[in-house]
Chains A and B, each alone.
Chain A
Amino acid sequence: MITIGYFLSFLLGRLTLDRCLKENVRLLHPCAAALLALVSGLGLSALLTFLTFVVLDSFHRPVIILVNISAIIIFLFFNRNLYIQKTIIPITDWLPWTKFRWFHFLYILLGVFIVGVAYVIALTHPYGEWDAWAIWNLKTRFLIVSDSWNLIFTDLHYHTHPDYPLLLPFINTWIYCFSADNLHPIPMVTNIIFVIGCGGFLCCTLYQIRKFSFPFLMGLIMFTTPSYLYLGTFQYADSLIAFFLLINLYFITMFQKTKDASWLNILGLSLGLTAFVKNEGLLMALILMFVVSVYILIDKNNRVGKSAVKHLLFTFLITFIPVLIFKVFIAPPNDDILPNINTSNFTAERFQILYNAVITEIFHEKWCYMWIVVLALLISRIWRAFNRENIILSIFFIIYSSAIVCIYVLNGKADLSWWLETSLSRILFSLLPALVFFGVHLHYSKQRGAHV
């Protein structure tokens, strides 16, 4: 039954993609488009579910299903001209297997193997790791069984981080609308979708750059890294961050290559969803929003003009307003990061601990040389980082990594070694697909008109 929920989200996501991108949707690899539709649809369904909670204060299964189906019908109505005039032909354009070739069997075999491995690994911890079940899945339980969802912001313990945005619990709550069984298989399936989807999306987009060559192989290396699949099945929200960051960067590069404002429409929606995943996602979304807006405003060769910023801002607000409602009116203020940041905490020793932890982590054998390959990829074309087509991504990585370093070094609340031990590998995991994409993009940005 839960497949109905995922299918409805896929439909909603696909209709949104068609609405935002119109004929440009064909520039996406068909498999990448399908994965993107599923993920963005799950995000939108979660936002709609959140809005039903804001209005009704608790879980109302029929209302949530009705609201989501209504959204699909509304999008079908708005998209009708696209389908009637055959700008987009649903069956041909929506399904990834319409352009099937014999060698695609190899990809299917590899995909089945990776999904199988991820599933078997996930079965060893069906409830997820500690932070997953004690934070995200616990909140999902409260959302489903509690009379008032506000309990999770007022009376729960400090370690449940009541200020964290709730995209992942709301995705699982939405899917639970189609289940009468235990809750725990749903977060497991959702997480497998995100981790496989993220790897699959990366491989598809890199395959578009150059078939059977090093970009695609680079994607496959990341996708088959055991640690990537292991961390992905822990049911943390970092799998969502990894996927949303990757698609945001992809939309930005597509906008820069095509100079078409339609990519900004979908980027805006996606940034709002990123902000609702976790506080890190909020930081990422605000940095990207700022950098992209400044880039559009100061770029003199920009064909789309300043009105493109309006497109971006408008669609960003559609998905960001629920996040604002959540952060301003519902969730308590953050009590573990922001209030404890103080420049007096900065010491050379703390910086040294952070540096050592990063070096130890990226050279750890569990990553199977992945980070060495990624670093080699980035360093070997570092001089292209500030070219016009790479500058947004470069500035984003510089600002975001500086912010993370500042948070670690200046926050004196927790023991830094313990904190790094529990969170650094997750931060690196969430950045990995985006950095692989950026590294390959650096290599191919000047050489050829990749993607399009």
Chain B
Amino acid sequence: MFEKMIKNFCAQNLFPKIIIIVFILLIALNIYGLYGALKVVRQYKKIVDQQNIGFRFAGLDEFIKGERIIGFYTDMNLSQDRNSKDLAHAQYMLAPVIVDDTSVEYRYVLMFCKNPQNALKKMKEINAVPVRGNNQGVVLTERVNYR
């Protein structure tokens, strides 16, 4: 019977059948790949429970309610992807307040510096005092006597 099946198979045009077998193999490979992806996800979940957006800037929105725009100062190069991501993190957390990275001429200025001395220097320069900060390099400052 097996021989008959093979003969029948060969008697017909083989090419489409080979294609179908190859395609079924590819689907099986893909499903195996998906299973592999699930294993990677499980390992990833052991290290990081969930993606965390803007955790450095969490809670600052409470202090700037009613503001339309705040300034942003950093001692890092914003043209680099990694640093501009930090600006995006801040913007995402503080929306709908606009975070303006081009100016510090606002009542509140958010400082995000690698070197704390740079933040202090800038605070003196614009006559600002810290309102809230954390050990991640983030300081929300308010300018004294700001009109």
**Cβ B26 vs Cβ A221 within 8 A:** yes
**Cβ B96 vs Cβ A151 within 8 A:** yes
Q: A218-B23, A368-B26 are in contact. Are A141 and B41 (CB under 8 A)?
A: no
- B contact residues around A141 at 8 Å (CB): 92, 95-96
CB-CB nearest in chain A for B95:
A141
CB-CB nearest in chain B for A143:
B96
**Cβ B20 vs Cβ A214 within 8 A:** yes
- Please tell me if B58 contacts chain A, counting CB pairs below 8 Å: no
- B contact residues around A214 at 8 Å (CB): 16, 19-20, 23
- Please tell me if A189 contacts chain B, counting CB pairs below 8 Å: no
**Per-residue contact bits, chain A 116-143, to B (CB 8 Å; 1 contact, 0 not):** 0100110111110010011001100110
User: From residue A344, how far is it (CB to closest CB) to chain B in Å?
Assistant: 23
Name the interface residues of B62-76: CB closer than 8 Å to any CB of A: 68-69
Tell me the count of chain B residues lying within 8 A, CB to CB, of chain A: 34
The stretch that binds A, out of B4-12, B31-39, B116-124, B132-140, is: B31-39
CB-CB nearest in chain A for B88:
A134
- Please tell me if A275 contacts chain B, counting CB pairs below 8 Å: no
Q: A134-B85, A147-B96, A226-B37 are in contact. Are A124 and B23 (CB under 8 A)?
A: no
**Cβ A142 vs Cβ B23 within 8 A:** no
- A contact residues around B23 at 8 Å (CB): 214, 217-218, 220-221
**Cβ A221 vs Cβ B27 within 8 A:** yes
Q: How far is the CA of A155 from the CA of B34 in the complex (A)?
A: 42
Q: How far is the CA of A369 from the CA of B85 in the complex (A)?
A: 33
Contact of A145 among B24, B26, B31, B96 (CB under 8 A): B96
- B contact residues around A155 at 8 Å (CB): 69, 98, 100
**Cβ B69 vs Cβ A130 within 8 A:** no
Q: How far is the CA of A147 from the CA of B96 in the complex (A)?
A: 8
CB-CB nearest in chain A for B31:
A224
**Cβ B20 vs Cβ A217 within 8 A:** yes
User: From residue A125, how far is it (CB to closest CB) to chain B in Å?
Assistant: 5
- Please tell me if A225 contacts chain B, counting CB pairs below 8 Å: yes
- Please tell me if B131 contacts chain A, counting CB pairs below 8 Å: no
Q: How far is the CA of A146 from the CA of B29 in the complex (A)?
A: 47
Q: A130-B88, A134-B85 are in contact. Are A225 and B30 (CB under 8 A)?
A: yes
- A contact residues around B92 at 8 Å (CB): 133-134, 137-138, 141
- Please tell me if A44 contacts chain B, counting CB pairs below 8 Å: no
Q: How far is the CA of A142 from the CA of B94 in the complex (A)?
A: 10
Q: A133-B53, A157-B87, A229-B34 are in contact. Are A146 and B26 (CB under 8 A)?
A: no
**Cβ A138 vs Cβ B41 within 8 A:** no
- Please tell me if A386 contacts chain B, counting CB pairs below 8 Å: no
Q: How far is the CA of A137 from the CA of B51 in the complex (A)?
A: 15
**Cβ B95 vs Cβ A124 within 8 A:** no
User: From residue A272, how far is it (CB to closest CB) to chain B in Å?
Assistant: 29
Q: How far is the CA of A369 from the CA of B29 in the complex (A)?
A: 10
**Cβ B51 vs Cβ A127 within 8 A:** yes
User: From residue B122, how far is it (CB to closest CB) to chain A in Å?
Assistant: 20
- Please tell me if A356 contacts chain B, counting CB pairs below 8 Å: no
Which of A137, A225, A226 lies at the interface centre, i.e. has the most chain B CB atoms within 10 A of its CB? A226
- A contact residues around B51 at 8 Å (CB): 124-127
Q: How far is the CA of A114 from the CA of B30 in the complex (A)?
A: 11
Q: How far is the CA of A369 from the CA of B23 in the complex (A)?
A: 11
- A contact residues around B101 at 8 Å (CB): 157
**Cβ B98 vs Cβ A151 within 8 A:** yes
- B contact residues around A221 at 8 Å (CB): 23, 26-27, 30
- B contact residues around A126 at 8 Å (CB): 50-51
Known interface pairs A114-B34, A121-B37; 6 further A-B residue pairs with C-beta atoms within 8 A, sorted by A's residue number: A127-B51, A134-B85, A214-B23, A224-B34, A368-B29, A368-B33
* 23 A-B residue pairs with CB within 8 Å: A113-B34, A114-B34, A121-B41, A125-B51, A127-B51, A130-B88, A133-B88, A134-B88, A141-B92, A146-B95, A151-B68, A213-B16, A214-B19, A214-B20, A217-B24, A217-B27, A221-B26, A221-B27, A224-B27, A224-B30, A224-B34, A226-B33, A229-B37
Chain B residues with a Cβ under 8 A of chain A? 16, 19-20, 23-24, 26-27, 29-31, 33-34, 36-38, 41, 44-45, 50-51, 53, 68-69, 84-85, 87-88, 91-92, 95-96, 98, 100-101
Closest 7 CB pairs of A and B: A146-B96, A224-B30, A134-B88, A217-B23, A155-B98, A226-B33, A141-B95
